[in-house]
Amino acid sequence: MTQPLKIAIILSSTREGRFADKALAWFEPIARAQEGWEVEVLDLREAALPFFDEPVPPAAKAPADPAAQAWGARLKGFDGFIVLTAEYNHSITAALKNAFDHAFEGWAKKPIGAVGYGGVGAARAVEHLRLIAINFGMVPVAAAVAIAGADFRALAKGDKSFADLPYLDGSAKALIADMEWWGRATKAARG
Ligand SMILES: Cc1cc2nc3c(=O)[nH]c(=O)nc-3n(C[C@H](O)[C@H](O)[C@H](O)COP(=O)(O)O)c2cc1C
């Protein structure tokens, strides 16, 4: 029997009133409906990582901080990551960069995808995310969801719901298809 693919959805915004929760409420059921996937949500709020100040990079030595150790151990259980990506000043959130910096092994040789949202669907943040992911030996997948412009603003204000924007379901399915392919390929290669 085929093994399940364990996929984490990461909420990369931690602020009160975050749009991330709306994006999660829409995307999580779509991801959970994917046959053969076991989906878990990783909320950076709950990870409660300190601002990175380890004496040695996690690529060389496991972090001393208990929250960072728990975070790194948690990542190791997943076969891929889909990040709900907010764009802060044309990049990913500081909380997400901090979460990358706090671990190494758990990210490596796995695919990463993005559901981006913001003025331009977090396109600039998603490109930064891909470049950062390469440093961990991850596979940034080609497909991404971009919740952008007037649609993003209408969703944020509550003037529209995701049901009004069925093209986003198509984008989500394309992202999931890429994650499935690379998730299976890298899982097999990791053995
Ligand atoms: C510190 C900060 C910087 C931002 N910079 C950008 C930006 O560069 N581009 C953009 O499209 N939106 C930007 N925004 C607006 C965000 O897209 C919007 O606030 C979005 O809801 C953030 O995601 P969140 O609510 O899940 O935190 C910024 C918001 C914050 C709080």
Q: How do residues 13-47 score in pLDDT, each as one tens digit?
A: 999 999 999 999 999 999 999 999 999 999 999 99
Q: What is the pLDDT of residue 63?
A: 92
CA of 163 relative to ligand 1 center, distance in Å:
23
Q: Give the CA radius of gyration of the chain.
A: 16
Average pLDDT over residues 145-172: 98
Of the pLDDT bands very low, low, confident and very high (cuts 50, 70, 90), residue 109 is very high
Residue 152 has pLDDT above 70, yes or no: yes
Nearest-angstrom CA–CA distance, 40 and 81: 10
Q: Is 149 in the pocket of ligand 1 (CB under 6 A)?
A: no
Average pLDDT over residues 151-160: 98
CA of 128 relative to ligand 1 center, distance in Å:
15
Q: Which domain holds residue 11?
A: 5-190
Q: Which segments of 37-169 are extended strands (E)?
A: 37-43, 80-86, 111-118, 139-140, 145-148
Q: Is 119 in the pocket of ligand 1 (CB under 6 A)?
A: yes
The domain that holds 88 is classified in CATH as: 3.40.50.360
How many distinct structural domains can be found in the chain? 1
Q: Is the entire prediction scored with pTM above 0.85? A: yes
Residue 1 has pLDDT above 80, yes or no: no
Average pLDDT over residues 64-85: 97
Q: What is the pLDDT of residue 2?
A: 85
Q: Is 45 in the pocket of ligand 1 (CB under 6 A)?
A: no
Q: Is 10 in the pocket of ligand 1 (CB under 6 A)?
A: no
Nearest-angstrom CA–CA distance, 22 and 147: 11
Of the candidates 109, 149, 143, 106, the residue with the CA atom closest to the CA atom of residue 10: 106
Q: Is 118 in the pocket of ligand 1 (CB under 6 A)?
A: yes
